[in-house]
Amino acid sequence: MLKNKNINDNYTARQLKLPLVIEKLIDISDPVYTFCDVMDHIDLTPYFVEGKGYKTGRPRCDAEKLLKVILFAFMENGYCS
């Protein structure tokens, strides 16, 4: 039996949004770019606690990426839900 290997080489971490229509591009003045540029220049390492973590279970999500998502949602909506 053949297994499907769906490997996508066109993905990067900087790919902020994927439009439903490929021809539709993200405008350069979109707030996502500005927010990401500002957050990249801030050193967030003093604010994160380095823990040992667990050796079993799911791997932890990246704390910096999670913080970016929460702060951007707060910036856009004014509240987090």
Per-residue pLDDT reduced to its tens digit, 70-79: 998 888 887 6
- The range of the structural domain enclosing residue 66 comes to 28-35+62-81
**Is residue 17 domain-resident?**
no
Q: Which residues of 38-75 are buried (b: 16+ CB within 10 A; e: fewer)?
A: eeeeeeeeeeeeeeeeeeeeeeeeeeeeeebeeebeee
pLDDT digits (tens, 9 = 90+) for 15-58: 666 655 655 666 778 888 889 889 999 998 888 877 766 777 77
4 against 77, higher pLDDT: 77
Q: What is the pLDDT of residue 56?
A: 77
Residue 23 domain-assigned (yes or no): no
Assess whether pLDDT exceeds 60 at residue 2: no
For residue 76, the Cα-to-chain-centroid distance in whole angstroms is: 15
- The pLDDT assigned to 48 comes to 84
Number of domains observed in the structure of the chain? 1
Alpha carbon separation from 26 to 15, 31, 41, 42 (Å, rounded): 10, 10, 22, 24
